[in-house]
Amino acid sequence: MSAECAPVAPAEHTAPPPPATRSDPDEDLPVPVTGWGRTAPSVALLVRPRTHEEAVAAVHRCGSRGTIARGLGRAYGDAAQNAGGAVLDMTGLDRVRTIDAEGGVVVCDAGVSLHRLMEVLLPLGWFVPVTPGTRYVTVGGAIGADIHGKNHHVSGSFSRHVLSLELLTADGEVRTVVPGTELFDATAGGMGLTGVVLSATIRLHPVETSLMSVDTERATDLDDLMSRLTAAQDRRRYSVAWIDLLARGAATGRAVLTRGEHAPLDALPVRARRRPLDFRPRQLFSPPGFVPEGLLGRASVSLFNEVWYRRAPRARRGQLQSIPAFFHPLDGVPHWNRVYGRSGFVQYQFVVGHGQEEALREVVRRVSRQRCPSFLAVLKRFGEGDPGWLSFPMPGWTLALDVPAGLPGLGTFLDGLDQVVADAGGRVYLAKDSRLRPELLTVMYPGLDRFRALRARLDPRGVFVSDLSRRLSL
């Protein structure tokens, strides 16, 4: 396959460690585990396999309450928790095995983070095909949640770029799974419930530099934003809008739209051309372990949103930004999820198809009326849907927002939004969910029956189980 195969030694992550850690690596201890939203903790035995064989043994050994793979714990809800059972901490499987520097293909273990891949691949002129809003997700997690990025309208979801993967299934076998098969489509977006992804072969995207050429513009309200996103859809590889959900009245849904490309070499200033593929992310402070509840209230968030909106240029073209600044601004603040205090927070992300813009408007109106203090709200236009049975994306509009979980009446409010989304034929994202009404799941995911049938066949004893799968009867 490769003209130049370079085995790469595993390196220590500079990433913040996953929230669940333990002191003695030789002993598996029950530890409380939560998702990134820090809600609904449950206790599980944390097992950290270092080799494929150890992973097989761990799956064999797990008791009646089963096991689930966990990466860097960036899923917001309970997808990588397994109360009373075992959780496989996959970050020990962190080897980048081979890189085809000519053809742009990498083979790596499931526990390798996208951050690590960027460190290794950027100097060779390659970039990951899809990156979400954080680099600190593992390859296994990216497949399990079938993540998407700002380039979904061009590139689709992560699993579209997976050429094959090794899957450890409930019977203890390791299978090579390729796209186009049932097992692949169930595993992509299958939230780890078909088995443990051990390694994957991924097609990469070539880049000349590690900088982004970014266009920024403001949209004065939601309709303005949607028309700008639609008109300019195909011009740029990456596009996304930050949206101010606290703005009211005529300004409801005002937004800052950013679009970008990988900057070509000749776009760089002369000095920067000497080292065009530099990748040196910086990290700022980390919030303390204890943050008082209600720091992110309506006043502080609406002030933040106002400043963020005003700060953005009305229209600017071709600004050079680093990859972390463009894709992963929050990665600069390790443990940023602590700022919501003890109760944690809920991420709500849904998609509705084209022609269902009224549902999107309704949700934005309701969130604005409810005065949900949300400062990370993001709107994006998806491209074609992806083949995974439980993959989230579908052609249309997706809105993601964050809300402190302690907000009174939030549960009922979000149930109302679910109904609007379901009535419009849309769905919510399982990797972010921590509270969906189980009855709505079959409505939102038509592939669910096939998924359940395949799981019943492949894993009759229910070896792979998570708090998410228990809560939603996946």
**Rule CB under 8 A: which residues touch another protein?**
30, 32, 37, 39-44, 65, 77-78, 82-85, 342-344, 346, 405-406, 408, 410-412, 434-435, 437-438, 467, 470-471
Min dist. Cβ of residue 82 to another protein (A)? 8
Alpha-carbon distance 340 to 336, whole Å? 9
| Cα 307 from chain centroid (whole Å) | 27
Min dist. Cβ of residue 467 to another protein (A)? 5
Min dist. Cβ of residue 306 to another protein (A)? 28
Q: Are 93 and 110 in contact (CB under 8 A)?
A: yes
Min dist. Cβ of residue 437 to another protein (A)? 7
41 or 123: CB nearest another protein: 41
Buried b vs exposed e over 269-297: b needs ≥16 C-beta within 10 Å? eeebeeebbebebeeeeeeeeeeeeeebe
198 or 474: CB nearest another protein: 474
65 or 203: CB nearest another protein: 65
Residue 173 half-sphere exposure, CB side, CA atoms within 13 Å?
7
Q: Are 191 and 474 in contact (CB under 8 A)?
A: yes
36 or 158: CB nearest another protein: 36
Buried b vs exposed e over 209-243: b needs ≥16 C-beta within 10 Å? bbbbbbbbbbbebbebbbebbeeeeeebbbbbbbb
Min dist. Cβ of residue 377 to another protein (A)? 18
Return the structure tokens found at 261: 């490309």
CA distances from 473 to 434, 441, 451, 469 (A): 13, 9, 12, 5
Alpha-carbon distance 193 to 68, whole Å? 7
153 or 471: CB nearest another protein: 471
40 or 272: CB nearest another protein: 40
337 or 434: CB nearest another protein: 434
32 or 313: CB nearest another protein: 32
Min dist. Cβ of residue 4 to another protein (A)? 48
Alpha-carbon distance 216 to 238, whole Å? 12
Strands 205-206 and 255-262: unpaired
Min dist. Cβ of residue 215 to another protein (A)? 36
349 or 434: CB nearest another protein: 434
Min dist. Cβ of residue 458 to another protein (A)? 23
- Give the E-state strand segments of 196-309 in sequence order: 196-203, 205-206, 211-219, 238-243, 255-262
Angle CA 131–472–351, to nearest 5: 45
Residue 330 half-sphere exposure, CB side, CA atoms within 13 Å?
14
Min dist. Cβ of residue 74 to another protein (A)? 16
